[in-house]
Structure 1
Amino acid sequence: MTTLSNQTVCAAYASVFSQLSLDTIESFRPLVSSDIRFKDPFNDHRGFEKMANVLQDMFKHTQTPSFSVFEQDVCGDHAWLRWRFTANIPVVGAFESEGISRLAFNAEGKVCEHIDYWDSAPLYMQIPLLGRVLKAIRKRMASDH
């Protein structure tokens, strides 16, 4: 079995991520380990099937979700993807956020870990009632300087 370089796998992974749809989720399978850890602010799961379920769930609960990867960097056995996410979310409406995903590669050159780092507070701030409470807290904590 030929092991692809981490650079090649990262580029392919970023391409799938940027073209993500219900029909392309399966395209991650040859790039990831079967026991991949997928973590974001709402989930922490192991296994490709659970990762796929999280992504499928995103398509069920949002309209026109998309990721645009605009920066990637491979550093040995891990990589960083910088991306912008946009979607229409019920109750919230149009939503946009920038984030970073850290990918780790196993000895076979497959992605064995995908951890997302992004600030979910702006999402919560747009939820009626909860958003008002969070905005009031934020205002009280802000410096007057």
Structure 2
Amino acid sequence: MQPIQQIPQNSRTTLDAYLDLFNNLEEGLAQGVLQRLTSTNIKFIDPFNNVQGHTPVANVLLHFVAHVQNPRFTILHSAWTDNICFVRWHFHGQLHRGGEWSFPGMSELHFNQQGLIQLHQDHWDSGHYFYQRLPIIGLLIRWIKRKIQLHS
């Protein structure tokens, strides 16, 4: 078992501000918070995106804000190892077309030596919490799911 690692203070400060950014995205992006907390070659990966650099990441987040009303992330837990922080969260929001949207997920955040985030990778079940909600694709996914489920 590895000993409990001391979290670098600059990484902890960055983490707190970064998590706050996601509950104030529009304002935070306008104020350049993303650029202050992340390395210039930040990589952002989620079930829909895989982009690198401040501008592409900001564009993904602006697209998110444009299509989801009142986005809110509730932080449940965080755990550190080396220069990586794992953050469990629950998302709540309102899709412009699709109603309430709520799901659990986890973010993997890698920090560089300066305490800036260099990788943000989100892990959540887009099949269950997004694609299954779509009218035609959702029907197909639910049908496939029923066909491959083990029935007791």
Answer whether TM exceeds 0.5 for this pair.
Answer: yes
Match of 2:24 in 1: 20
Match of 1:129 in 2: 136
Match of 1:44 in 2: 50
Indicate yes or no: 2:9 matched with 1:8.
Answer: no
Q: Which structure 2 residue ranges, 5 or more long, are not aligned?
A: 1-7
Equivalent position amino acid for 2:83 in 1:
D
C-alpha deviation, 1:4, in angstroms: 5.0
Q: Which structure 1 residue ranges, 5 or more long, are not aligned?
A: none
Q: What pairs with 1:1-145 in structure 2 (closer than 5 Å)? A: 5-17=10-22, 19-25=23-29, 26-122=32-128, 123-145=130-152
> Is the CA contact 1:20–1:67 (under 8 Å) kept in the aligned structure 2?
no
- Give the whole-Å Cα distance in 1 for the aligned partners of 2:76 and 2:61: 20
Relative to the length of structure 2, the TM-score reads: 0.85
> Is the CA contact 2:10–2:114 (under 8 Å) kept in the aligned structure 1?
no
Q: Sequence identity, in percent?
A: 28
Secondary structure in 2 matching 1:80: strand
Structure 1 outlier segments of 4+, above 4 Å: none
- Give the whole-Å Cα distance in 1 for the aligned partners of 2:109 and 2:26: 21
Relative to the length of structure 1, the TM-score reads: 0.89
> Is the CA contact 1:6–1:74 (under 8 Å) kept in the aligned structure 2?
no
CA RMSD for the aligned pairs?
A: 1.6
C-alpha deviation, 1:100, in angstroms: 0.5
Aligned residues between the structures: 142
When structure 1 is superposed on structure 2, of 24-33 and 108-117 the one drifting more is 24-33
- Give the whole-Å Cα distance in 2 for the aligned partners of 1:101 and 1:107: 19
Secondary structure in 2 matching 1:107: coil
C-alpha deviation, 1:102, in angstroms: 0.5
